[in-house]
A = this chain, B = another copy of it.
Amino acid sequence: MGGAVRIGILGTGVVGQTLGGKLVELGHEVKLGSRTSANEKAAKWVGQHGSRASQGTFAEAASFGEMVFNCTSGMVSLEALRSGGSANLAGKVLVDVANPLDFSHGMPPTLSVCNSDSLGEQIQRAFPDAKVVKALNTMNAGVMVNPSSVPGDHDVFICGNDAGAKSQTSDLLRSFGWRTIVDLGDISGARGVEMLLPLWLRLMGTFKTATFNFHIART
């Protein structure tokens, strides 16, 4: 990742806006995608982030990006990515930040897929020509783009089938300030990091803050 890149972000929630803001700050061009091209949250975000920020439909954002981030809610990610369009994702790095949290049965949410499969794998199977990299799904949005907000050593996990895509994603993560990037191998590693969510949610309740992160201590 030598210089500025065009990045499409699917999803206009806190995660999409926060990642998008950081990427603009780092000099990249970012298009925030949603169901409609006139999404109000996206419009407000664009107004706050200057000339490198824009908005559009899922398909416009996916087409715009040399690299695409899935920041939609995990329960609707596959649908949003289908709106984005296979052809618009083909050959591109697709960083999947989503968690398949199902809030429909009350709190705490459960995972709509886990154990013998994962959302990351579902996305890779549905979009075989995209280079899916699971990353950043194990922490709060503020921590994603500002790792030093949590003191001490802590880690970001990545996994995916394409080494080049993981390398490109790692470069971007380092530009956010990440020092320890743990590569879990192929995209089936998404099972383990998505299954961290029940503990993450429990810890947030215990600590009464989302400003924490996982670290693997080792020799």
A contact set with B: CB distance below 8 Å? 105, 110-111, 114-116, 149-154, 157, 182-185, 189, 191-193, 195-196, 198-203, 205-207, 209, 211-219
**Residues of B close to A201: CB separation below 8 A:** 192
B205-A114 in contact (CB<8A): no
A-B CB proximity, top 9 nearest:
A192-B199, A212-B218, A154-B217, A192-B198, A195-B195, A215-B215, A152-B217, A192-B202, A110-B115
**Residues of B close to A199: CB separation below 8 A:** 157, 184, 192-193, 195-196
Interface of A is mostly: mixed
A206-B184 in contact (CB<8A): yes
B205-A185 in contact (CB<8A): yes
B218-A216 in contact (CB<8A): no
B115-A198 in contact (CB<8A): yes
**Residues of B close to A214: CB separation below 8 A:** 214-217
